Structure 1
Amino acid sequence: MRVCADPDNLPYSHQDGSGFENRLAQWLAEELRRPLQVTWVPLQRGFVRKTLREGRCDVLLGVPVGLERVATTRPYYRSGYVFLSQPLDGHPLCGFDDARLKKLRIGVQLPGDGAATPPGQVLAQRGAVEHVRGFEPLGEQPSAQRAVQALAAGEIDAAVLWGPPAGYFARRAGVPLVLTPVRGAVPGALSPFAFDMALAVRPADTALRAELDTALARLQPRIDALLARYGVPLLPRSTEEEPR
């Protein structure tokens, strides 16, 4: 089974095999009774074109269901953005209409291409931008890791981050942090705050997709336990939707 993955993108994948997608890829290869072959490609603009569509591999992991120009399998997890903070007075942050957001120093991830993430867009709509601090990747440090480190050091009061890296790095922060998923529809949001995640294959590879669907169904309990070990915050999967 030929897979393409980023060589340094924890908690997802790493060339030393320590990411949860590394483990899932090995399990899938065993289920399909095929040797696993990994091609390491940095996760950058054009990743799908440079990997799957150019024939360098046959499977991508951790792809949003319904991604254009590929065929996706059944979802094997769903996650979304989360509020992350040190313990606050009163109840934890759980929504963008919380009046405290206008006073807190809030960290958000920056994609690095001049765009804003969904949390940044919604905070701007609500006028809660005076104390917002953006975090871009710096060298080998992902933006979520940098934001969690700033939160643990008291440089910011809260952060709104993508769930899987937020949960993973929060467990390694060295201080207690409160993680609360953003639940339900966010009024005014221009982009979704949660996604079903699946495998991707080329649209013509219908037999391979069917094999992967069967393997994922058998592996689902192990996948759930694996994600929990990595601190990935999970939401109910939209399993009623037919993968495209």
Structure 2
Amino acid sequence: MRLRNNLPGIALGLLFALATSAAAASDAALRVCADPNNLPFSDSAEAGFENRLAAMVAAHFGEQVSYTWWAQRRGFIRSTLKAGTCDVVMGLPAGYDLVETTKPYYRSTYVFVTRRDRQLELSSLIDPRLHHLAIGVHLIGDDGNNPPPAQALGDQGIVDNVRGYSIYGDYREANPPARLIEAVENGAIDVAAAWGPLGGYFAQRSPVPLTVVPIRDYERFAPQQFQFAIAMGVRKGDHALRDRLNAFIDEHRSEINALLRSYGVPLVDPPVTASGGQP
């Protein structure tokens, strides 16, 4: 009799527990660390391809995306991922030693960007015209480190006609890395040697038709690398999230590639080893 009288209370308790569980599930979030002013990768309007990719991952997980916004420069990992305010960075070099990286989900390359009406059709780092053309490169880091194209040009004595553009630029302006490609548009330089996703995206949206060509003949400048595999990064030891992300990458490669191409990202195949496999 007592049990029967308590059935309504038990039923209400179960319903409350189920409702609480459902609410908790709906509140589950993929917590992403990202730069709010760094197109084509990410921005606070969630217009970058890493934002779009994060939304795809969250939908697959049945979660929402939440962001910790931080300028992606020195101290970014320490202030976000390591601080525990977020759980994944959507784009880092594969094997980056400050985090645990997933398997790569794309590989890109440095490119030459020129005005189409100039018909320069540059592709080689050893093209003799590079000794005379005005060349723009991004400078990276607080100390203005030279990226691989600048190093390769310097090895050939091509210095005086090379101009540096800070990849960080004036952060008060939208998309600071775009200044390099804009310099090609307005004729301030003849050619930009840029990281492929940056060059491809801003060239795709340029009011002046631009040509984007992957840089070749870079092997002779080893150990400088011109192609890089990009992965997602999680905190070291977070194997559970890493493995979930790896499974997503395996299952959605075609959709990821389509997304990247829609943003103008030049995709290159991984190098093949002597045994025929991929490293």
Scaled by the length of structure 2, the TM-score of the pair is: 0.81
In 1: Cα distance, 2:79 partner to 2:271 partner: 29
Counterpart contact for 1:122–1:189, Cα < 8 Å:
no
Tell me the residue number matched to 1:42. 71
Select the residue among 69, 81, 84 that pairs with 1:55.
Answer: 84
In 1: Cα distance, 2:67 partner to 2:218 partner: 37
Counterpart contact for 1:109–1:143, Cα < 8 Å:
no
Counting helix residues as a fraction of each chain, which structure ranks higher? 2
Unaligned runs of 5+ in 2: 1-29
Is the aligned partner of 1:218 residue 2:251?
yes
Q: Offset of 1:184 from its aligned partner?
A: 6.2
Q: Which amino acid aligns with 2:237?
A: A
Q: Are the structure 2 counterparts of residues 177 and 78 from structure 1 closer, same or farther at C-alpha, using a change threshold of 3 Å? A: same
In 2: Cα distance, 1:233 partner to 1:28 partner: 22
In 1: Cα distance, 2:159 partner to 2:258 partner: 37
Tell me the residue number matched to 2:43. 14
Is the aligned partner of 1:182 residue 2:222?
no
Number of equivalences: 242
Please give the residue correspondences for 1:76-115 in structure 2 after superposition, counting only pairs within 5 Å.
76-87=105-116, 92-111=121-140, 112-115=142-145
Tell me the residue number matched to 2:146. 116
Q: Offset of 1:91 from its aligned partner?
A: 6.5
Q: Deviations over 1:106-125 (max 9, x none)?
A: 11111242311111111111
Q: Percent identity?
A: 43
Q: Are the structure 2 counterparts of residues 167 and 146 from structure 1 closer, same or farther at C-alpha, using a change threshold of 3 Å? A: same
In 1: Cα distance, 2:116 partner to 2:39 partner: 26
Unaligned runs of 5+ in 1: none
SS in 2 for 1:36: strand
Please give the residue correspondences for 1:187-198 in structure 2 after superposition, counting only pairs within 5 Å.
187-198=220-231
SS in 1 for 2:150: helix
Tell me the residue number matched to 1:236. 269
In 1: Cα distance, 2:63 partner to 2:44 partner: 20
In 2: Cα distance, 1:135 partner to 1:141 partner: 15
Scaled by the length of structure 1, the TM-score of the pair is: 0.92
Q: Deviations over 1:160-195 (max 9, x none)?
A: 011111111111221221111124643234431111
Select the residue among 149, 162, 165 that pairs with 1:132.
Answer: 162
Counterpart contact for 1:83–1:160, Cα < 8 Å:
yes
In 2: Cα distance, 1:29 partner to 1:162 partner: 28
Q: Are the structure 2 counterparts of residues 34 and 142 from structure 1 closer, same or farther at C-alpha, using a change threshold of 3 Å? A: closer
Q: Which has the higher contact order (CA 8 A, sep 6+)?
A: 1
* Root mean square deviation, CA, Å: 2.0
Q: Deviations over 1:224-244 (max 9, x none)?
A: 1111111111111469667xx
Tell me the residue number matched to 2:192. 159
Q: Deviations over 1:105-150 (max 9, x none)?
A: 1111112423111111111110112211111213425454112111
Per mean C-alpha deviation after superposition, the further-off stretch among 62-71 and 232-241 is 232-241
Per mean C-alpha deviation after superposition, the further-off stretch among 158-167 and 171-180 is 171-180
Q: Which amino acid aligns with 2:161?
A: H
In 2: Cα distance, 1:88 partner to 1:187 partner: 30
